[in-house]
Amino acid sequence: MGELLILNGSPRAPRSNSRQYALLFAKSYPQAVETFAVGQCRPWDLCRAMEDCSDLLLVFPLYADGLPSPLMGFLQELEKDPPHNRPVISILINCGFLEPEQNDTAIRILRRFCQKNGYPLGSILKIGGGEAILSTPFRFLAKREIRQLAKSIHRRSYGTFQVTMPLSKQMFLRASSRYWENCGKRNGLTREQMSAPQIENESPPPQ
Amino acid sequence: MNLILSDRALPVPEICRASSEFFDLSQMRIAHCLGCFGCWVRTPGRCVIRDDAVRIYPRIAASRKLLCVSRIWCGSYDLPMKTMLERAIPVQQAFIRLWHGETHHLQRNPLPKQALILGYGDISAGEQDIFRQLVSRNAHNMNFEEYRIVFTSEEELEMTFQKEAIAWANS
């Protein structure tokens, strides 16, 4: 007992920001951690590993204001075939928006999952600007809070933390526009092309 | 055109048939979003996964009235509806705006909607509260002008759907 497992719940697990967050967490955690990724392991594999662990950290991005559906599916499988040992579940969630509070609904959903299935809820870290923060000068802020998260789980002194980029909303809008324009530019697209109103090549309906 | 999305087969009332399209998500092939952002930065407004979802999200954008029927799991839409809503991000742009004081994605041009959400299952008061919060969050990103949420049990779903769908069509 005492082992910590990480479950990366991002649908693009191998190339995800969640993977970067999980790696930073693993570096900060004083003991060895074992990492699983949704889509790359079966719920049964995680379930078996959970029998010998004390903590499970879920790392995932906010999707449509909730949990990404592959993570939901995974948790539903776990509901059907639960482990005998229920580890403490902690959460590291990130959203692309500036406000870390936009993650709150997803956290409530997970809190309910834990309550319903008998898992104690541990620490929570909410990250705002999570799509970009690791590639900005504010990376150190994210790393600092991840260290706090790791420390709280290791000491069993669970708490809630949050971090975002210390920018005004207007500055964030400008910075995010530049970020996305550069993503489009790499594919030969202008901002106008990226903003086209057509959806599946259909013109927009009259308003 | 009005749109009805459901995670199970339901008898659509006669009055809704002429003015509404009905999609039973349980009978459709809809993969989960890969999070590749291709619909924002490679082929704007078009998803790289060419399954049944590509027929639905343009209809979501074009609908003035939307009725969603979903089982509720832990205060969230259950998998079929949640997967579809995640696949609807081509309706949005990558770019971010300020909306009601918060940062949200710009919309590609969907019609403003009146939405009715019919959540069913064995739903506790706490789960109802979480779901209300979820829908209010989604409303920002789906251009809901107005929405209403109705909860019902699985046993009463067909009857509630009939009653609510008729009222929705007539509203």
Q: Do the chains contact at A65 and B137, CB–CB below 8 Å?
A: yes
Q: Is the separation of the CB atoms in A104 and A130 below 8 Å?
A: no
Please tell me the total count of domains within chain B.
1
Q: Measured between alpha carbons, how far is residue A167 from residues A175, B48, B116 in Å?
A: 9, 33, 37
Instruction: Please tell me the distance from the alpha carbon of residue A130 to that of residue A17, in angstroms, as a whole number.
Output: 8
Q: How much of chain A exceeds pLDDT 70, in percent?
A: 96
Interface test with A, best of B39, B52, B96 (most A CBs within 10 A): B96
Interface list for A 138-167 with B (CB within 8 A): none
Instruction: Report pLDDT for A69.
Output: 97
Q: What is the pLDDT of residue A1?
A: 52
User: Under CATH, domain A3-190 is a member of which superfamily?
Assistant: Flavodoxin domain (3.40.50.360)
The pLDDT value recorded for residue A207 is 63
A171 CB within 8 Å of a chain B CB: no
Going by C-alpha positions, the residue among A98, A99, A84, A94 that lies closest to residue A124 is A94
Residue burial B65-77, b: 16+ Cβ < 10 Å; e: rest: bbbbbbbbbbbbb
Q: Is A17's pLDDT higher than 90?
A: yes
For residue A206, what pLDDT is reported? 63
pLDDT of residue B13: 92
Query: What pLDDT sits at residue A21?
Result: 97
Instruction: Using an 8 Å CB-CB cutoff, list chain A residues near B137.
Output: 65, 102, 105
- On whether the CB atoms of residues B41 and B105 are closer than 8 A, the answer is no
Residue A86 has pLDDT above 80, yes or no: yes
From the list B78, B74, B82, the residue with the least C-alpha distance to B127 is B74
What is the percentage of chain A residues whose pLDDT exceeds 90? 84
Q: pLDDT digits over A43-77, tens only?
A: 888 888 888 899 999 999 999 999 999 999 999 99
Which tokens in the block code for residue B90?
Answer: 């081509």
The reported pTM is 0.95
Chain A interface disruption, residue of B41, B59, B132, most A CBs within 10 A: B41
pLDDT tens digits for chain B (171 residues)? 899 999 999 999 998 888 899 999 999 999 999 999 999 999 999 999 999 999 999 999 999 999 999 999 999 999 999 999 999 999 999 999 999 999 999 999 888 999 999 999 999 999 999 999 999 999 998 999 999 999 999 999 999 999 999 998 888
Residue-level pLDDT at B114 = 94
ipTM of the prediction = 0.96
Cα–Cα dist B54/B50, whole Å? 6
> Tell me, what's the pLDDT at A41?
86
Domain hosting B27: range is 2-170
Q: How many Cβ contacts (< 8 angstroms) between chains A and B?
A: 165
The whole-angstrom separation of Cα A46 and Cα A78 is 9
Please tell me the predicted confidence (pLDDT) of residue A2.
Answer: 62
* Residue from B48, B40, B45, B121 nearest B81 by CA: B121
Label residue A39 by pLDDT band (50, 70, 90): confident
- Chain A residues touching residue B83 (CB < 8 angstroms): 69
Mean pLDDT, all residues of chain A: 94
Mean pLDDT of A16-28: 96
pLDDT score for B1 = 81
pLDDT band at A114 (very low <50, low <70, confident <90, very high): very high
* Nearest CB partner across the interface for A109, out of B74, B98, B103: B74
Q: SS3 of B152, please?
A: strand
Give the whole-angstrom CA distance, residue A63 versus residue A1.
Answer: 33
- Nearest residue to A4 (alpha-carbon basis) of A39, A72, A71, A52: A52
Q: Which residues are paired to A94 by β-bridges?
A: A61, A127
Residues in chain B with CB shorter than 8 Å from the CB of A194 are 40-41, 44, 93-95
Map out the domains of chain A as residue ranges: 3-190
Q: Does the pLDDT at position A200 exceed 60?
A: yes
* Residues of B whose CB is below 8 A from A169: 98, 103
Residue A155 to chain B, least CA–CA distance (Å) = 29
CATH number where B43 lies: 3.40.50.360
Residue B171 has a pLDDT of 85
So what's the pLDDT on residue A204? 63
Could you give the angle at which helices A69-80 and A104-117 cross, rounded to 10 degrees? 10
Q: What is residue A190's predicted lDDT score, i.e. its pLDDT?
A: 97
